[in-house]
Amino acid sequence: MRQARPGGQAAADRALRHPAAKPLLFALCLLPLAWLVYAAAFDRLGANPAEALIRSMGDWTLRLLCLTLAVTPLRLAARLPALARFRRMLGVYTFFYAALHLLCYAWFDMGLDGGEIARDVAKRPFILVGMCGFVLLLVLAATSFNRAVRWLGGRRWQRLHRSVYLVAGLALLHFFWMRAGKNDFAEVAVYAAILAALLLARPWLRRGRSPGP
């Protein structure tokens, strides 16, 4: 039998299922972009606005990737199945900010010169790693919709989307190599700890979960 939920848990589940919950999350995910557009328009990005935009888009990609990977552990730990409704949107926004990160790099650093970009990818390993992560994210975003699930079949779709863990590793390596030039690893260590905790929590929580109805 289904166990009765505590009042706070039931209220949280109802709030997550509210029709306004998804539009609210959609708007919240756009706030970083809105701030960066505002800051760029009013010259509030510091001495090097191009670099600030590139780095900020990359930072938000990592943050949203962490939030996407946090959905399942939080859902299992808090026993809030409604949280699963937001995983796809967070994943697509992760790709969106990764695409903006790539666009800012290609535009501001490379002048949208395809040959120059190709030479830079071949020359700098951290750019190559970032490109590989972006290609994987592109595949995941392109197959995140219901039609793709039906076309691939549930098992194949799940196996494909487990590559998000590889994306997380590539993103962290990209960030590590980028910061290595400045010998600044504090933020890298924070993201590494968060991602490691999220990835290790998933199997542990699944083993400890009581069987459902």
Q: What pLDDT, in 10s, does the model give residues 128-174?
A: 999 999 999 999 999 998 888 889 888 898 889 989 999 999 999 99
Q: Report, as an integer, the average pLDDT of 108-112.
A: 93
For residue 39, count other CB atoms closer than 10 A to its CB. Answer: 16
For residue 133, count other CB atoms closer than 10 A to its CB. Answer: 22
pLDDT at 7 over 80: no
Q: Report, as an integer, the average pLDDT of 46-50.
A: 92
pLDDT of residue 212: 43
Token pair for residue 195? 């991602």
Q: Give the chain's domain count.
A: 1
Residue 133 within a domain: yes
pLDDT at 116 over 50: yes
Token pair for residue 25? 């999350």
Cα separations in angstroms, 3 against 11, 196, 204, 211: 15, 32, 22, 11
Residue 3 within a domain: no
Amino acid at 62: L
pLDDT of residue 1: 39
Which residue segment(s) compose the domain that 116 sits in? 8-208
Residue 191 within a domain: yes
Q: What pLDDT, in 10s, does the model give residues 65-90?
A: 999 999 999 998 888 999 999 999 99
pLDDT of residue 65: 96
